[in-house]
Amino acid sequence: MSMEDSSYAEAYRRSIEEPEAFWIDASQEVDWVRSPTTARTDAGWFADGVMNTCFNAIDRHVEAGRGEQTALIYDSPVSGQVRRYSFAEMRDRVSRVAGMIAQAGAVKGDRVVIYMPMVPEAMFAMLACARIGVVHSVVFGGFAAAELAKRIDDCEPALVLAASCGIEPGRIVPYKRLLDEALALASHTVARCIVLQRSAGPADINPERDIDWSDAVADAPSLPCVDVASTDPLYILYTSGTTGAPKGVIRDNGGHAVALTWSMKHIYGAKPGDTFWAASDLGWVVGHSYIVYAPLLHGCTTVLYEGKPVGTPDAGAFWRVIREYGVDIFFTAPTAIRVIRREDPDGSYVAQYGIGRLRAMFLAGERAYPETVRWAEKLLKVPVVDHWWQTELGWLAIATCLGLGQRETEAGSSGFAVPGYAFEVLDADHRPVVAGDSGDLVIRLPLPPGCLPTLWNNAEGFRRSYLDLHPRYYATGDTGFRDEAGRIHIMSRIDDIINVAGHRLSTAIIEQIIASHPEVAECAVVGLDDEIKGNIPVAVVVPRCEASRHTALTSLLVGMVRNELGPVASFKTVIFTTKLPKTRSGKILRKVIRDIGNGKAIDIPATLEDSASLAAVEEAFGPPSVVSG
């Protein structure tokens, strides 16, 4: 479908040519204490507006007579619990948690670190901070102590909210012990920690510093929402930089609320009262934007799931949740669907559970191979929409906008630029390339509302990381191209472009070819150092076939790449492994694989999901001579 075939075209045109009017109109979907008179100024988005994000997410729905509607469904197969909370119940619990945070000494403008698993109390804590103007910084539960300490030192919180433990299939993660170690490592001193005790793994309490959550919330007053400026920070979310030092992405209140509310209706096609499920984690931007804030801002029911796509108990877990709670819109990572497909290639669990009233599934967070998208579309018989955005952007940037009438998707593309985002594809000399040619994917400044205004206490790092590469543009760090219809195709990180004997190649193109083979469950292609050619591409493959067939599969995959790309790719080597190292959000750690293949020391990321995956890849590569030719 062309860009002109729906109301999308007019919305996009207006957002680029008349951004002031476009975003002032969008801001009317948010309740303001003082409405903004202008959209964008040098001070930020809606700079003269005053509001409260928690009020917009919770209280206003109660005041509008919808207090009995379910706001949150908590489903935890790892603990065997299911809980439901109405908007009225959410208001009561969040206001008491706000009182607990205030009694512990945090005041408007302070930071509070939240180090908790996927439990309702973590959401209550986030919303409670927003309620009283405290800036929350959620750190993914189970992060190593050293990484938690870095974040504590950077944002200098007045308070830490933690749980005693997290529950993973087959193991208990001792959050409180990790927190104690982090506080011992950190230079910044935290005066108070409030600890939610879980029966699966209670923790020791330090009476001089720690407060029991249950006791504290029982004694706390219920606090109302405070007024905050639109440009006041709502939260800090850390994302790792290329140096390994965490970067604190700041999100403001007003622009964030306007952008997320707009996205629910116009991109996802969600209506107030719908059930929206983002199968992510509160420690990632997807969890912030599309578990906590966007669904509640729009008056939807949101699902908080403490489990895995497979193993809790089986590959039917997602379909059970979708049917049981009447999920209308589902959002997950492509890697989750790949894992489900590997475990249940025929979709027997979909046949067993059905999909209820599901209207669409959205994918983001990792490249969605066309074969994965087609498999899901055939199985579910609903639109499967690959879309793209980043922690820094905070909400969707490339998508098929169902709420604006777009319907047709193209496997391999993330869709069209979302209204508000002026994308370009540039070459190394900052010049736009022609349709079909790859280059650096950038966004013309200023960024739309909801995106990061800067990094926490690091304006220089913000400029260096995002603005210096191409003047007047925000650099996404990705490469891609626009096709003749205007669709944008994300190919790889800029770092994943390899130079093979003078020819620039995207490893993502080779990955896409290899992933299309039915005996390949997952794969990653990296460029390894070569004395003659500079780089050579090597595929690391998780196969479905038996080990005895690896030689035959290697020949098939090499032949496929040669037929599609020609001999210029110099692709000859396939390494087979049982698992790929990934982050907990599902992204394949290609740099780690590349370092293993090049025989370099590995800097193990804090986000690594499974340390056994590193050993599996190291064993698969064997001696460096395996890939030297």
For residue 4, the model assigns a pLDDT of 42
Q: What is the pLDDT of residues 285-339, one digit of tens each?
A: 999 999 999 999 999 999 999 999 999 999 999 999 999 999 999 999 998 998 9
Q: What is the pLDDT of residues 518-559, one digit of tens each?
A: 999 899 999 898 877 778 899 999 998 665 568 889 999 999
Q: What is the pLDDT of residues 92-147, one digit of tens each?
A: 999 999 999 999 999 999 999 999 999 999 999 999 999 999 999 999 886 788 88
Q: What is the mean pLDDT of residues 470-495?
A: 91
Cβ proximity of 75 and 321 under 8 Å: yes
Which helix (H) or strand (E) is 102 found in, with range? Answer: helix 87-103
Residues with Cβ within 8 Å of 369's Cβ and at least 6 positions away in sequence, in order, are 334, 338, 511, 512, 515, 516
For residue 530, the model assigns a pLDDT of 80
Q: How many CB atoms lie within 10 A of CB 10?
A: 12
Which segment, 20-34, 476-490, 505-519, is predicted with the most confidence on average? 20-34
Query: What band does 5 get if pLDDT is binned at 50, 70 and 90?
Result: low
Q: What is the pLDDT of residues 193-240, one digit of tens each?
A: 999 999 999 999 999 999 999 999 999 999 999 999 999 999 999 986
Q: What is the pLDDT of residues 356-399, one digit of tens each?
A: 999 999 999 877 888 899 999 999 999 999 999 999 999 999 99
Lowest mean pLDDT among 187-191, 371-375, 496-500: 496-500
For residue 65, the model assigns a pLDDT of 98
What's the N-to-C CA distance of the chain in angstroms? 45
Checking if the pLDDT of 624 tops 60, the result is no
The residue ranges of DSSP E strands in 21-104, in sequence order, are: 40-41, 44-45, 50-51, 70-76, 81-86
Q: Name the CA radius of gyration of the chain, rounded.
A: 24
Residues with Cβ within 8 Å of 74's Cβ and at least 6 positions away in sequence, in order, are 81, 82, 83, 84, 85, 119, 120, 304, 306
Domains of the chain, CATH where assigned: 31-241 (3.40.50.12780), 501-627 (3.30.300.30)
Q: What is the pLDDT of residues 400-445, one digit of tens each?
A: 999 999 998 998 899 999 999 999 999 989 999 999 998 999 999 9
255 half-sphere exposure, CB direction, 13 A CA radius? 30
Lowest mean pLDDT among 15-29, 456-470, 585-599: 585-599
Question: Hey, what amino acid is at 163?
Answer: A
Q: What is the mean pLDDT of residues 268-296?
A: 97
For residue 453, the model assigns a pLDDT of 97
Q: How far is CA 364 from the centre of its chain?
A: 7
Q: What is the pLDDT of residues 36-45, one digit of tens each?
A: 999 999 999 9
Maximum separation of any 2 CA atoms in the chain, in Å: 71
For residue 502, the model assigns a pLDDT of 59
Give the torsion sign (CA, 339, 342, 347, 349). negative
Rounded Cα distance between 493 and 506, Å, is 9
Average pLDDT, the chain: 92
For residue 625, the model assigns a pLDDT of 39
Q: What is the pLDDT of residues 145-187, one digit of tens each?
A: 888 999 999 999 999 999 999 999 989 999 999 999 999 999 9
B/e letters for 336-368, b = 16+ CB within 10 Å, e = fewer, are bbbbbbebbeebebbeebebeebbbbbbbbbbb
Query: What band does 498 get if pLDDT is binned at 50, 70 and 90?
Result: confident
Residues with Cβ within 8 Å of 349's Cβ and at least 6 positions away in sequence, in order, are 314, 315, 316, 319, 320
Rounded Cα distance between 466 and 433, Å, is 20
If you write DSSP's letter for every residue of 385-437 in order, what string do you get? Answer: EE-B--TTT-S-SEE--GGGT-----TT--BEEPTT--EEEE-TTSPBPPTT-
SS3 state at 60 = helix
In the chain, the percentage of residues whose pLDDT exceeds 70 is: 95
Q: At what angle do helices 175-185 and 145-155 cross, to 10 degrees?
A: 60
- Residue 450 backbone class (left: φ over 0; alpha: ψ -120 to 50; beta: rest): left
Q: Are strands 329-332 and 275-278 parallel, antiparallel or unpaired?
A: parallel
The full 3-state SS of 282-339, as one line of letters, equals CCCHHHHHHHHHHHHHCCCEEEEECCCCCCCCCCCHHHHHHHHCCCCEEEECHHHHHH
Question: Hey, what amino acid is at 60?
Answer: R
For residue 504, the model assigns a pLDDT of 62
Question: Hey, what amino acid is at 370?
Answer: P
Cβ proximity of 128 and 217 under 8 Å: no
